[in-house]
Amino acid sequence: MSGEPAGVYVHLPYCASRCGYCAFVVTTDPSSRERYLAALEREALLLEGEASDVSFDAIYLGGGTPSLLPPDAVARLLAALRGRFRIGESAEVTLEANPEDVTEAAVSAWSAAGVNRVSLGVQSLADAELSAVGRRHDAARAREALAALSRSRLSVSGDLILGLPAQTAATFRESLEGLGDAGVGHVSVYLLETEKSKTIEEDRRAHPERYLSDDAQADLWLELGERLAARGFGHYEISNWALPGREARHNLKYWRRAPTLGLGVSAHEFWEGRRRANVSNLEQYLDGVEAGRRAIGFDLPVSAAEAAREELFLGLRLREGVPVERVAAFVAEAGDVRLWSDYETWLEGGVLERRGDRVAFTERGYLVSNEVLGRFV
């Protein structure tokens, strides 16, 4: 396989504690960490042959909490990946970090190991919100982490969550402006997915007054786009804003359907027209790789029809949208008269818009994107 450069995602599941809202595959038991790091290197070796003629221009160390690893383990892991895959000198190398792990020393060690981008899980700059979901850092510690990163040469992204318990419009604005003032070049804002956590869902039902209403969240979401636009950020994907040239290269690969490998427990990949994922059980992952095989949970070919569908529901997440003729062909061939009339209504009602030969969501349209994208899944 040749052509567009690929990305490699590595899942690091270790966390110091579990946050109230998190549904990722994580563990708070560090005892298997050395075995796990060895397994990642072995998995890279197992994949080496499949990727021998592919160039990579992005590595993403995600989690879990990659910043919890000792920096020398990060360096070893990156060196092992570089030893197995053709990773370009100027590849984007992202590490997900939690604020409590960010120190001047850690930042220089990550940088020396080859990391050039840090995605910081700020979530909020209000103490009441952070403690309500069990974060280990307070707002002051998050601000210190942002300051340490801003003094480095690393490219910095900050994550915020909209809809946290105890959040108000005023505190959300402060968190957003705090990130902007700290000089980040990239911002991700996620709507709190309460269905991923029983505790938060129950709390929301019992204390609705502690949560912003859906309407208030929608207003804030539009406002945040305006605030970031005023700072020069472009809204390039539903949940992501970036200064020009600071878009997440690795993440763009998911939405543009570029090839990516996924190493580690629960990691997903798109490779040679197949969607594959490793098992989500840590022991099974370790046992599989230690026995000399990948621990694949599923491995499915993507048919032409599925590829057309994926192109729409992934591509429409992006501001660049998708070619008009692809949407028109899909809608015409779907054999669903309602989809055709809905598509026209979305265009006329300003949910979708045509830009040149492409179709994309409008800013307001993004607010109903779940409903629209659901029709293409």
Asked if 121 touches ligand SAM (CB under 6 A), the answer is yes
Residue nearest to ligand SF4 (CB): 22
- SS3 of 339-372: the string is HHHHHHHHHHCCCEEEECCEEEECCCHHHHHHHH
* Residue 159 interacting partner from ligand SAM, ligand SF4, none (CB closer than 5 to 8 Å by kind): ligand SAM
Asked if 96 touches ligand SAM (CB under 6 A), the answer is yes
* Residue 330 interacting partner from ligand SAM, ligand SF4, none (CB closer than 5 to 8 Å by kind): none
Q: Note whether 316 and 66 are within 8 A (CB).
A: no
Of 71-79, 138-146, 192-200, 277-285, the window that binds ligand SAM (rule: CB under 6 A) is 192-200
Q: Note whether 352 and 328 are within 8 A (CB).
A: no
DSSP 27: B
Q: How far is the CB of 112 from ligand SAM (least distance, A)?
A: 22
User: Rounded to an integer, what distance in angstroms lies between the CA atom of residue 223 and that of residue 129?
Assistant: 20
Q: Report the SS3 class of residue 254.
A: helix
* Residue 192 interacting partner from ligand SAM, ligand SF4, none (CB closer than 5 to 8 Å by kind): ligand SAM
* Residue 193 interacting partner from ligand SAM, ligand SF4, none (CB closer than 5 to 8 Å by kind): ligand SAM
User: Rounded to an integer, what distance in angstroms lies between the CA atom of residue 143 and that of residue 308?
Assistant: 43
Residues 6 or more apart whose CB falls under 8 angstroms from that of 44 comprise 80, 81, 83, 84, 85, 263
Secondary structure element (H or E) that encloses residue 146, with its range: helix 139-150
Q: How far is the CB of 270 from ligand SF4 (least distance, A)?
A: 22
* Residue 315 interacting partner from ligand SF4, ligand SAM, none (CB closer than 5 to 8 Å by kind): none
User: Rounded to an integer, what distance in angstroms lies between the CA atom of residue 273 and that of residue 293?
Assistant: 21
Asked if 262 touches ligand SAM (CB under 6 A), the answer is no
Asked if 190 touches ligand SAM (CB under 6 A), the answer is yes
Asked if 65 touches ligand SAM (CB under 6 A), the answer is yes
**Choice between 124 and 312, CB closer to ligand SAM:** 124
The contact set with ligand SF4 (CB under 6 A) reads 15, 18-19, 22, 24, 26, 63-65, 98, 121
User: Rounded to an integer, what distance in angstroms lies between the CA atom of residue 110 and that of residue 53?
Assistant: 28
* Residue 161 interacting partner from ligand SAM, ligand SF4, none (CB closer than 5 to 8 Å by kind): ligand SAM
